[in-house]
Amino acid sequence: MKNRIIIGVSILVFIIIVIRLIPLLTKGSGSGLSDQGRPPVAVEVAPARFGPIKEIRRFTGTVFPYNQYIVAPKVAGRVIQIGKRIGDPVSRGEVIARIDDAEYQQAVREAEASLKIAEASLSEARSQVDLARQERDRAKSLESRGMATAAELDAALSNYEARQARYDLALAQVDQRRAMLESSRIRLGYTVLTASGSGFIGERFVDEGALLAPNTAVVLVVEIDSVIVRTTITERDYGHIEKGQPVKVLVDAFQGMDFSGNVARIAPMMQQESRMAEIEVEVDNASHMLKPGMFARIEVVTAEKDSTQLVPSAAVVERGGETVMFIVPDGESVARFVRVTTGIVTPELTEIVEPHINGQVVTLGQHLLDDGSPVILEKEIHGQSGGADSSRGERNIR
């Protein structure tokens, strides 16, 4: 009895297992038939080719003058002349403005008079020193022959030393008066404001008749024979930018034109707040077309190859963390799944370092493909269909 129960349970378990396996086996068999019989996928393809490619990084920045400075007086006074207005060219040493110099002229004359007085006092002190020296020498001679006392000799020596001290004082006063005269002349020179470098008047801050304090801005001079374009780059781009790299600069004011420059300076640090670093591009501006303050677009070629294997960038996709493509080999109508190594990438073209591609690459419809999927090319669709059918094929591709 016990054996019959065991046998019956075993048979029941076997039947259950068979029942569970039948659907799985049927599904697997049906899948195979489905793969063999599934319709081809309509795709767009393009040939791989060899050609040149450039990797271009694009940034935005602002045009700055190569140099700029403010012309301002070092002394107070009233402006009596300004000979320049906005946009006027200036050269080094050219007079920009004049300040009323009557008081400073008078100060120079007073300093000259004080110097003459000091020089006269010095001349008198020199004569007294010479006289005191003679008296000292005579007292020494008389004292050595016993004709003068030691007290008389001491008096002569003391008188000489006093006269010599007065002479030294007069000499120092002459030096002081000369320094004062030179200072007065310098302050007088400050009433004439000149350009310290060539350029153009960028701004004019005051007009004639204005009363100025020291260091009040009169005009701004900008030097634009060369200009600087400043921009910022991210940490991702920092390693691709080097000093001396050629740069193309474009501005909205001159559509269709570009200006050539070079990376002149790269900041040695990233700003902690923005994680950006500043770079400066120097551009020759002999035509003076580029103006400070213009918005600029900067293009830097960071990599370039004259001849390499290229495919449309639309053909390269990411699947499972890998860079892949689907290739339709020559003479076949199936898509092959290929892992690729890319190089330079642009919005239009991508460099394929490996493998070498034989056939055409799928540029549209990859999301419907697996390795070995049958395909029908877009040109075949157009060749087999016309009118409404052709239009329907394009919609399916999309």
In this structure, the answer to whether residues 339 and 235 fall within a common structural domain is: no
CATH code of the domain in which 370 resides: 2.40.420.20
| pTM, entire model | 0.66
Whole-number Cα distances in Å, 29 to 1, 20, 23, 36, 355? 42, 15, 10, 11, 35
In this structure, the answer to whether residues 378 and 339 fall within a common structural domain is: yes
CATH code of the domain in which 299 resides: 2.40.30.170
In this structure, the answer to whether residues 207 and 335 fall within a common structural domain is: no
| Domain-embedded: residue 21 | no
Over residues 196-244, the pLDDT tens digits come to 999 999 999 999 999 999 999 999 999 999 999 999 999 989 988 999 9
**Predicted local confidence at residue 149, as pLDDT:** 82
In 3D, which of 160, 139, 163, 162 has the Cα closest to residue 151? 139
Which of 265, 287, 304 is the endpoint of a domain? 304
| Domain-embedded: residue 26 | no
Maximum CA extent, the chain: 172
**pLDDT interval class at 8 (50, 70, 90):** low
Which of 182, 217, 252 is the endpoint of a domain? 217
In 3D, which of 381, 398, 377 has the Cα closest to residue 44? 377
Length of the chain: 398
Measured distance CA(52)–CA(303) in Å, rounded = 11
Average pLDDT over residues 329-342: 89
| Domain-embedded: residue 144 | yes
Which phi and psi angles does 68 have, rounded to 5°? -150, 150
CA neighbours closer than 13 Å in the CB half-sphere of residue 190: 21
Average pLDDT over residues 107-136: 92
| Domain-embedded: residue 118 | yes
In this structure, the answer to whether residues 311 and 389 fall within a common structural domain is: yes
In this structure, the answer to whether residues 312 and 393 fall within a common structural domain is: yes
In this structure, the answer to whether residues 311 and 208 fall within a common structural domain is: no
| Domain-embedded: residue 177 | yes
Least confident of 111-115, 186-190, 362-366: 362-366
**Predicted local confidence at residue 332, as pLDDT:** 85
With a cut of 80, say whether residue 278 has pLDDT above it: yes
| Domain-embedded: residue 27 | no
Over residues 130-188, the pLDDT tens digits come to 898 888 888 888 878 777 788 887 888 888 899 999 999 999 999 999 999 999 999 99
* Whether 259 contacts 286, CB under 8 Å: no
Least confident of 108-122, 141-155, 264-278: 141-155
Domain that holds residue 47: 38-53+306-397
With a cut of 80, say whether residue 35 has pLDDT above it: no
With a cut of 50, say whether residue 85 has pLDDT above it: yes
| Token duo for residue 293 | 């303050």
In this structure, the answer to whether residues 209 and 326 fall within a common structural domain is: no
Least confident of 40-49, 282-291, 306-315, 380-389: 380-389
| Domain-embedded: residue 143 | yes
In this structure, the answer to whether residues 212 and 230 fall within a common structural domain is: no
In this structure, the answer to whether residues 47 and 178 fall within a common structural domain is: no
Question: How many folded domains does the chain comprise?
Answer: 4
Q: Tell me the percentage of the chain whose pLDDT exceeds 70.
A: 85
In this structure, the answer to whether residues 350 and 330 fall within a common structural domain is: yes
**Predicted local confidence at residue 303, as pLDDT:** 86
**Predicted local confidence at residue 394, as pLDDT:** 35
In this structure, the answer to whether residues 186 and 127 fall within a common structural domain is: yes
How many degrees, rounded to 5, is the angle at CA 255 between CA 251 and CA 259? Answer: 50
| Domain-embedded: residue 7 | no
**Predicted local confidence at residue 30, as pLDDT:** 40
With a cut of 70, say whether residue 384 has pLDDT above it: no
**Predicted local confidence at residue 101, as pLDDT:** 94
In this structure, the answer to whether residues 327 and 354 fall within a common structural domain is: yes
Least confident of 77-81, 331-335, 390-394: 390-394
Least confident of 31-45, 100-114, 301-315: 31-45
Which phi and psi angles does 66 have, rounded to 5°? -65, -35
